[in-house]
Amino acid sequence: MQAQPTTFQQTPCLRLVGRDGATALVALHGAHVLSWIPADGRERLFLSARAHYGAGTAIRGGIPVIFPQFAGRGALPKHGFARTTPWRLVGVSDRATFELVPGATSAAWPHAFRARLHVGLDAGVLTVALEIENTGAHEFAFSAALHTYLAVTDLDAVALHGLAGRRYEDSTAGGAVRQQTTAELRFNAETDRIYVAPLHPLSLHDGPHRLRIDQHGFADTVVWNPGATLAAGIADLAPGEHRRFLCVEAGQVLEPVHLPPGGRWSGMQRLG
């Protein structure tokens, strides 16, 4: 895999090029994967036309890294600080590796840690892996996710397969616990569900297109789309953009990880 420094929206990035010509664009801000274009030339990730870039901001789209808190489930700002903090490039081999260590984050979350994100391009496949290490003397707990925005042609034509029979927490119903009874999940209103991770890979059907979604290490799968009403109040979404994406996230949400001194945890999502 080749890597080329570049910029996007005045943000320092790394452009990755796979052996088959596939590309990925990763911003150092948040170690945020902004784009993944396989060899067929079709963009697979959604990025809002109104996304904000710059210090302390969260970028709407791509694959935000959520750590050490998911959503508002804790005392930190929503989704924690990893997605709004600069990371550094460690190196590139068959994967590009980015690293975040305590710095400006220490006042908000006073734990010693090392976070690494590994991004790889294989034939028709994007692999993103998050690794957390406790480098301190005391145990800490965290939650995490890869908040993946998948590009779709039209949300009305989208179906997600592979969740039948799985329990989920429905955030649109105050966290009520329910069970998926249908073979496919379709989207005609706000959807915000945290599923106990499926036993098999998911399959996203977007008209004639299919995308396999696999995960390891993460115990949950989050499925989210704001729907028309909520999307209208999201400043960094252009009108109608909610119809162009579906978030299928690999997450560790319902049961936070308790990491002892010297302990390591890792989770991965594979798209292809």
Token pair, residue 130, equals 């998050």
**C-beta separation of 105 from 81 below 8 A:** yes
The pLDDT, as a whole number, for residue 104 is: 66
The pLDDT, as a whole number, for residue 198 is: 82
**C-beta separation of 35 from 27 below 8 A:** no
How many whole angstroms separate alpha carbon 216 and alpha carbon 165?
A: 19
How many whole angstroms separate alpha carbon 58 and alpha carbon 241?
A: 17
CA atoms within 13 Å, Cβ hemisphere of 166? 25
Whichever domain contains 56, its CATH number is 2.70.98.10
Please give the tally of structural domains in the chain. 1
Q: For the chain, give percent helix, strand, coil, nearest 5.
A: 5, 50, 45
pLDDT per residue as tens, the chain (272 positions):
999 999 999 999 999 999 999 999 999 999 999 999 999 999 999 999 999 998 899 999 999 999 999 999 988 989 999 999 999 999 999 999 999 999 867 778 999 999 999 999 999 999 999 999 999 999 999 999 999 999 999 999 999 999 999 999 999 999 999 999 999 999 999 999 999 988 889 999 999 999 999 999 999 999 999 999 999 999 999 999 999 999 999 999 999 999 999 999 999 999 99
Whole-Å CA distances, 215 to 57, 131, 240, 251: 27, 14, 29, 9
Domain range spanning residue 218? 2-271
Token pair, residue 220, equals 């949950």
The pLDDT, as a whole number, for residue 23 is: 98
The pLDDT, as a whole number, for residue 259 is: 98
Contacts of 249 (CB under 8 A, 6+ apart): 66, 145, 146, 147, 148, 221, 222, 223, 224, 269
How many whole angstroms separate alpha carbon 59 and alpha carbon 237?
A: 11
For strand 96-100 and strand 113-122, is the pairing parallel, antiparallel, or unpaired?
antiparallel
